[in-house]
């Protein structure tokens, strides 16, 4: 069942999403050679709690495993679910994906972005830009009467036009009173369910795009997903409401209504 949210509920989800957006922006400013991913995680948790919310990922269970941190920090060939550590230090030229969710008053927000550390290669820069553009192309399709597959197709078409691979093993999702709700939102055209978009649906759109193959594998730690060819991967995510006036990006900075 895909839940349609009332205006009051969307206001609550937006409040959670604004904490996500502000925290991601502040974390991006801290990203520099020499900072550890564990330090980024400590700030994320501290700022989340100061804002009256709780981390959504910490304690989240996937396949019997409990996620131990507030942030997912995925560097270079890491696609998603990189675990922060005080021993993992960012270096000049890395690209780093920050993925982060909170829950406040029972409603969730989820967002992600990828930034370069210091001076990055042209290859890295282009991958980040195209992944960000693919997210925008997908969000543009979040209109009443369109279908989920319209979103998937827009994302896939843009990424593949640049020769990139679109990850299949992880997908976007509905969001609201749980972090992951129906429907799934693949970033590629897949068979199966293809629901029509309706006013009040709230969806987390999150393309994961790879410089080479879209195939991923999970490391020994049970969490970190990496590209099989160990080439770079980038990830962006917004939580978005489908409204009568088109998509409203809830995790954009400064969209909080009074
Ligand atoms: N950030 C992922 C998503 O956007 C979920 C993280 S899974 C967790 O759907 F276990 F790390 F929480
Ligand atoms: Co998500």
Please state, in angstroms and rounded to a whole number, the distance separating the CA atoms of residues 127 and 233.
8
Mean pLDDT for the chain overall:
97
Ligand 1, atom 7, residue with closest C-alpha: 57
Three-state SS string across 199-225, please?
CCCEEEECCEEECCCCCEEECCCCCCE
Distance CA 55, CA 42 (A): 11
Give the environment of ion ligand 2: residues with CB less than 5 A: 110, 204, 206
Nearest CA to ligand 1 atom 1: 99
Answer yes or no: are the C-beta atoms of 102 and 54 closer than 8 Å: yes
Q: What is the pLDDT of residues 78-118, one digit of tens each?
A: 999 999 999 999 999 999 999 999 999 999 999 999 999 99
Separation of 98 CA from ligand 2 center, angstroms?
A: 12
The ligand whose atoms approach the alpha carbon of 170 most closely is: 1
Mean pLDDT value of segment 242-256: 93
Give the ligand 1 atom nearest the CA of 72: 11
Q: How far is the CA of 101 from the centre of ligand 2 (A)?
A: 8
The pLDDT of residue 108:
98
Residue range 58-63: average pLDDT? 95
Residue 81 CA to ligand 1 center (angstroms) comes to 7
> Residue 257 has what pLDDT?
66
Domains and CATH numbers, the chain: 7-249 (3.90.230.10)
Q: Ligand 1 centre and the CA of 32: distance in Å?
A: 24
CA distance 13 to 91: 35
Main-chain phi, psi angles of 3, to 5 degrees: -80, 140
Pair 53, 19: CB distance under 8 Å = yes
Element (H, E) at 230: none
Query: Exposed, middle or buried by CB within 10 Å (0-12, 13-18, 19+), for 122?
Result: exposed
Enumerate residues lining ligand 1, CB below 6 A: 57, 60, 62, 67, 72, 81, 99, 101, 110, 173, 204, 206, 237
pLDDT of residue 144: 98
Pairing status of strand 233-235 against strand 181-185: unpaired
- For residue range 158-216, list pLDDT tens digits in order: 999 999 999 999 999 999 999 999 999 999 999 989 999 999 999 999 999 999 999 99
Could you give the CA distance from residue 202 to residue 240 in angstroms, rounded to a whole number? 6
**48, 70, 78, 80: residue to mutate for ligand 1 pocket, most atoms within 8 A of CB:** 80
Mutation pick for ligand 1 pocket among 62, 63, 171, 216 (CB with most ligand atoms within 8 Å)? 62
Residue 226 φ/ψ, nearest 5 degrees: -125, 160
Q: Which residues pair with 233 in a beta bridge?
A: 210
Instruction: Specify the DSSP element, H or E, that contains 164.
Output: none
Give the per-residue pLDDT at 258: 56
Tell me the pLDDT tens digit for each residue of 23-47: 999 999 999 999 999 999 999 999 9
Give yes or no for a contact between 227 and 215, defined as CB atoms under 8 angstroms apart.
yes
Instruction: Starting from the CA of residue 60, give the closest ligand.
Output: 1
How far, in Å, is the centroid of ligand 1 from the Cα of 7?
Answer: 26
């Amino acid at each position: 069942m895909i839940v349609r949210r009332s205006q009051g509920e969307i206001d609550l989800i937006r409040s959670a999403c604004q904490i996500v957006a502000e925290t991601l922006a502040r974390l991006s400013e801290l990203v520099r050679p020499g900072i550890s991913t564990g330090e980024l995680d400590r700030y994320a948790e501290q700022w989340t709690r100061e804002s009256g919310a709780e981390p959504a990922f910490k304690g989240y269970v996937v396949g019997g495993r409990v996620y131990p941190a507030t942030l997912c920090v995925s560097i270079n060939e890491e696609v998603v679910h990189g675990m922060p550590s005080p021993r993992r230090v960012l270096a000049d030229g890395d690209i780093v994906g920050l993925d982060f969710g909170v829950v406040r008053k029972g409603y969730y927000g989820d967002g992600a972005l990828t930034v370069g550390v210091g001076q990055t290669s042209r290859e890295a820069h282009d991958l980040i830009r195209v992944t960000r553009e693919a997210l925008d192309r997908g969000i543009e399709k979040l209109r009443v009467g369109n279908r989920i597959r319209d979103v998937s197709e827009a994302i896939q078409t843009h990424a593949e036009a640049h020769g990139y691979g679109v990850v299949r093993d992880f997908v976007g999702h509905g969001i609201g009173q749980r972090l992951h709700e129906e429907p799934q939102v693949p970033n590629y055209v897949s068979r199966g369910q293809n629901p029509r978009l309706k006013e009040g649906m709230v969806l987390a759109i999150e393309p994961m795009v790879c410089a080479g193959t879209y195939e991923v594998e999970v490391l020994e730690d049970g969490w970190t997903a990496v590209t099989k060819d160990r080439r770079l991967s980038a990830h962006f995510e917004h939580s978005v409401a489908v409204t009568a006036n088109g998509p409203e990006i809830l995790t954009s900075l400064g969209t909080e209504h009074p």
